[in-house]
Amino acid sequence: MDEIKQIMFYYNKIDIKNKLSSKSGLKNFSCKFYKDVTEIYDTITRIKNPVRNPSGFAPDDAAILGLLIRIWKILKEIVYYYRKGKADITCLLDRQIVEAAVIAKYLLTKDKETIEDYRKCSYKNRLKILTDTTNLPELFQPPALIRLKQSIVEKMKNENLDVNSFATQNQNKWKISGKNFSQIFSEIEPPKDYKYIYGIGSESIHGSWNDSMDFHLIKNDDGTFSPYPYYASTDIRYVTPLLRYTNDPYLLWLERIDAKSEYICKVFKWIKSVNKQLYISFEKHYKI
């Protein structure tokens, strides 16, 4: 908690509006703000209620906590490449942020059975590997494959699972609650956002033609294309929209572990407010 208070102490001393009064100021301020948000998220995942959890977290809690840690780790990388002005790379990472944030929020609003289903669904390909070890034992002679099998067996043993524990997951085609990601997204976020925040972002993951035109090619006057061997520049549109999806899971987590406080709620309200100011500043400086 002290780390968060130190961050907030800095912002209490500055005039944010003045910092955002120019294009360069917007970029410089946003770099620091995004980095500090990741530090706040990091700190949140290390907060613990010693009464509820005197040591660590049980698997159902840990499944959610793992997603929250994944969010801030990836976000730190996005902020790094944002600062470097490498939009091509940030686009490879942002969809993973959305996935982790949406799934975490979904699990935090559901029951124990849903979280268990999420955990079991992660064994889809590992279970196929175990099947191969039985049906094709001759393939599992190399030490690397033997170690892989042992790690899968050990994980399942720790969760009291065996090859017969996944009937429901198989029936639901290994989808959480039998739903694809689009359905889960639309259940907890505005459905119209999906194509903007996740759909277009998928272009970079899959290396589509549109992605090549956006980042890797330049169009000539005669309609042909030439290589664009440079990184595309970045602006707040590569990071600010992500924070619309990442705040809620952290607050819901603190609520789940009985560690939510009025101070933390104010901090997250502040993050939302500053994030909105970045939007306003961007529209002012980058009018089409």
Residue-level pLDDT at 33:
97
> pLDDT at position 18, please?
92
Q: According to the model, what pLDDT value does residue 286 have? A: 82
Number of C-beta neighbours around residue 179 at 10 A: 14
Q: Are 248 and 104 contacting, i.e. CB atoms less than 8 angstroms apart?
A: no
Quick one: which of 246, 241, 255 has its CA closest to 108? 255
pLDDT at position 200: 78
Q: Look at residue 288 in the predicted model and tell me its pLDDT.
A: 54
Classify residue 193 as exposed, middle or buried by CB count within 10 Å of its CB (0-12, 13-18, 19+).
middle
pLDDT tens for 192-228 read: 999 888 887 777 778 889 989 999 999 999 999 999 9
Which residues in the chain show pLDDT less than 50? none
Cα gap 235→202, rounded to integer Å: 19
pLDDT tens-digit series, residues 3-25: 999 999 999 999 999 999 999 99
Question: Which residue do the tokens 């289903």 mark?
Answer: 117
Q: How many Å apart are CA 56 and CA 37, to the nearest integer?
A: 25
- 141: CB partners within 8 A, 6+ apart: none
User: pLDDT value at position 135?
Assistant: 80
Q: What residue spans define the domains of the chain?
A: 2-123+166-285
Task: Give the pLDDT confidence score for residue 144 in this predicted structure.
Answer: 86
Burial (CB count <10 Å: 0-12, 13-18, 19+), residue 15? exposed
